[in-house]
Amino acid sequence: MSSPFFLRLLLAAAWLVLASCSNSSPLPVNAPHSVPPEVSAAPTGDPVPQSPSPSPSPSKEPEVKAVPYHGPIEHIFFHPLILFPELAFDGDSITRVYDDWFVTVPEFQKMLTLLYERNYILVDIHSLYRLETVNGKLTAVQQPLSLPAGKKPLVLSIDDLNYYEYMRANGNAWRLVPDREDGVTAWARTPDGQEKSSREWEIVPLLDDFVKRHPDFSWQGAKGILALTGYEGVLGYRTNERESPNYKGEKAKALDMIQRLRKNGWTFASHTWGHMDVKKSSLARLKRDTARWKEEVGSLVGSTDVFVYPYGSSVAPEDPKLAFLRSQGFVVFCSVGPQPFLSFRDGMLRMDRRHIDGISLRTQRARLEPLFGNSPLLDPARPKIPTK
pLDDT of residue 53: 45
d(CA 200, CA 224): 17
d(CA 293, CA 277): 15
**Complete DSSP assignment for 185-227:** EEEEE-TTS-EEEETTSSHHHHHHHHHHH-GGGBSTT---EEE
Do residues 139 and 133 make contact, with C-beta atoms less than 8 angstroms apart?
A: yes
pLDDT of residue 388: 52
Length of the chain: 388
Q: Which residues contact 338 (CB under 8 A, 6 or more apart)?
A: 20, 23, 25, 27, 354, 364, 367
Tell which residue, 134, 166, 135, 147, has the closest CA to residue 33: 166
What are phi and psi for residue 252, nearest 5 degrees?
Answer: -60, -40
Q: Which residues contact 41 (CB under 8 A, 6 or more apart)?
A: 288, 291, 292, 295
Do residues 365 and 17 make contact, with C-beta atoms less than 8 angstroms apart?
A: no
What is the CATH T-level fold of the domain 3-372, as seen in this structure? Answer: TIM Barrel (3.20.20)
Residues forming beta bridges with residue 185, ordered by sequence position: 177
Tell which residue, 367, 364, 369, has the closest CA to residue 388: 364
d(CA 274, CA 287): 12
Q: What is the pLDDT along the chain (388 residues), one digit of tens a residue?
A: 444 434 344 444 443 433 343 333 333 334 455 444 444 443 333 333 334 444 444 445 567 899 999 999 999 999 999 999 999 999 999 999 999 999 999 999 999 999 999 999 999 999 999 999 998 899 999 999 999 999 999 999 999 999 999 999 999 999 999 998 889 999 999 999 999 999 999 999 999 999 999 999 999 999 999 999 999 999 999 999 999 999 999 999 999 999 999 999 999 999 999 999 999 999 999 999 999 999 999 999 999 999 999 999 999 999 999 999 999 999 999 999 999 999 999 999 999 999 999 999 999 999 999 999 999 999 999 998 755 5
d(CA 353, CA 156): 9
With vertex at residue 295, the alpha carbon angle to CA 294 and CA 300, rounded to the nearest 5 degrees, is 80
What are phi and psi for residue 254, nearest 5 degrees?
Answer: -65, -45
For CA atoms 1, 311, 253, 222, give the dihedral sign.
Answer: positive
Task: State how beta strands 152-159 and 225-228 pair.
Answer: parallel
pLDDT of residue 384: 86
The residues spanned by each domain of the chain are 3-372
The pTM is what?
A: 0.85
What is the 3 state secondary structure string of 47-107? CCCCCCCCCCCCCCCCCCCEEEECCCCEEEEECCCECCHHHHCCCCCCHHHHHHHCCEHHH
What are phi and psi for residue 322, nearest 5 degrees?
Answer: -70, -40
pLDDT of residue 13: 45
